[in-house]
A and B are shown apart, each in its own frame.
Chain A
């Protein structure tokens, strides 16, 4: 019994409903004259600016830099974080030494250390990537740690029962079993990487979308600034969806539990 085509279209359009409402509200406000036209340009102007910038390659240039930084730190954090998490779960000594740092350090904003990173690594990309790495490390390591610890013993017993070696058990049982939890951590870390890269670019730099927005605002060219914000939104959205797609391919046996919304 196929769903009526009307219902299907409605379902696909559903995500656009709030966006449409907000866009309409924005246009109304922008054109009403209640707010200064400079401060709140119409969507037409914003997208016009966006188009120009895209053509000139400016936005793509800055976006590329931001994304490169974010993904570098993010990628590094995945590798190191998962390793740390696994190690903590498997070695009680390592756990006793290191886990408290993660638990206690979690609510501490590591962004506060950014000036230190600047001093040690300069103003450019390295300090940013280092901070991104640090911030992303925590959720990934912690989630991996909890994930491995929470693996049902029965899986391990089943594997041992078949005479599987420790290595095989680790890679073919433990890691897949902990994969959903590990991905949970990874999914949390991705937006963090974006936040940190944009933020650090705003504080001080001459490249990247964060800088672009900051500079546009300071130069009173608000339509450019909004265009920049929109670009970041797109980047963030695309990256997240890509991650979800990847996750569902890799952890195919468990539908995205870490996506608590109806997607």
Chain B
């Protein structure tokens, strides 16, 4: 029994009177401590699946995380969004401590926890700043601190670096890996950037075009801990070519179908 098991998962959207099947009869199992990425063409249903694991969208099938059936959102599956979703009316520390506040923790205690995680992402001196004063990369780091602060069993990440420029993105990937390697939570990471998926993951799932199915489920045999140099290695390039060929097929299929 895996840490996360999805069986028979499906979701259909109504759009302008037409039905769009995002995913159908989808099965996936994750082991504890794995970093798993999902890559796929646009509109293939990868984000939809992630949202279902998060409990934000409901559909067919069952999803079980740590022996609990997923029926609604909850702090056991922390979510990181592409647009950071920080609360602009709260300071940085207010955002990071938010979950703890919602759960009723006292001020001194939750601030202590928040500060610990803020330090982890290197933003301690911005404790009292407001999100609107920070750059995109910094906001995402605050969002990361926020989601780590309530110590979820599992992390869900929805193209978290998609809104950042390429340089910041690479640095963020390195930071994320470093932080993750410290306590190896289970992560489900959605992206359309193959290099990003390769750099971060133990395992990559390639989605087909809509309705999303598993085209390939690859174990990534790159050494850990991973430094920036790994991107230049031959093995990395091999993997990338392999995945890109598969993805390309699906991207073209998605274009043809739309």
A-to-B contact residues, CB < 8 Å: 1
Q: Which residues does chain A contribute within 8 Å of B14, judged by CB atoms?
A: 1
Q: Which residues does chain B contribute within 8 Å of A1, judged by CB atoms?
A: 14, 17, 19
For the complex, count residues of B whose C-beta is within 8 A of A: 3
Q: Which residues does chain A contribute within 8 Å of B17, judged by CB atoms?
A: 1
3 A-B interface contacts by CB (under 8 A)? A1-B14, A1-B17, A1-B19
The 3 closest A-B pairs by CB, nearest first: A1-B17, A1-B19, A1-B14
Q: How far is A1 from B14 in the complex, measured between Cα atoms in Å?
A: 9
Mask, B1-32, CB within 8 Å of A = 1, is 00000000000001001010000000000000
Q: How far is A101 from B14 in the complex, measured between Cα atoms in Å?
A: 50
**Contacting residues of chain B (197-215) with chain A, CB-CB under 8 angstroms:** none
A205 CB to closest chain B CB (Å) equals 50
Q: How far is A1 from B16 in the complex, measured between Cα atoms in Å?
A: 10
Q: Is the interface of B mostly helix, strand, loop or mixed?
A: strand
Q: How far is A1 from B12 in the complex, measured between Cα atoms in Å?
A: 13
B95 CB to closest chain A CB (Å) equals 28
Q: Which residues does chain A contribute within 8 Å of B19, judged by CB atoms?
A: 1
**Complex: chain A residue closest to B19, CB-CB:** A1
**Complex: chain A residue closest to B14, CB-CB:** A1
Q: How far is A1 from B19 in the complex, measured between Cα atoms in Å?
A: 8
B49 CB to closest chain A CB (Å) equals 24
**Complex: chain A residue closest to B18, CB-CB:** A1
A244 CB to closest chain B CB (Å) equals 22
A64 CB to closest chain B CB (Å) equals 43
**Complex: chain A residue closest to B17, CB-CB:** A1
Q: How far is A1 from B15 in the complex, measured between Cα atoms in Å?
A: 11
A75 CB to closest chain B CB (Å) equals 38
Q: How far is A1 from B17 in the complex, measured between Cα atoms in Å?
A: 6
**Complex: chain B residue closest to A2, CB-CB:** B17
Q: How far is A1 from B18 in the complex, measured between Cα atoms in Å?
A: 7
B12 CB to closest chain A CB (Å) equals 11
A29 CB to closest chain B CB (Å) equals 44
B85 CB to closest chain A CB (Å) equals 23
B14 CB to closest chain A CB (Å) equals 8
A117 CB to closest chain B CB (Å) equals 45
B89 CB to closest chain A CB (Å) equals 21
Q: How far is A1 from B13 in the complex, measured between Cα atoms in Å?
A: 12
**Contacting residues of chain B (56-112) with chain A, CB-CB under 8 angstroms:** none
Q: How far is A199 from B247 in the complex, measured between Cα atoms in Å?
A: 69
A69 CB to closest chain B CB (Å) equals 44
**Complex: chain B residue closest to A3, CB-CB:** B17
A37 CB to closest chain B CB (Å) equals 53
Q: How far is A1 from B20 in the complex, measured between Cα atoms in Å?
A: 12
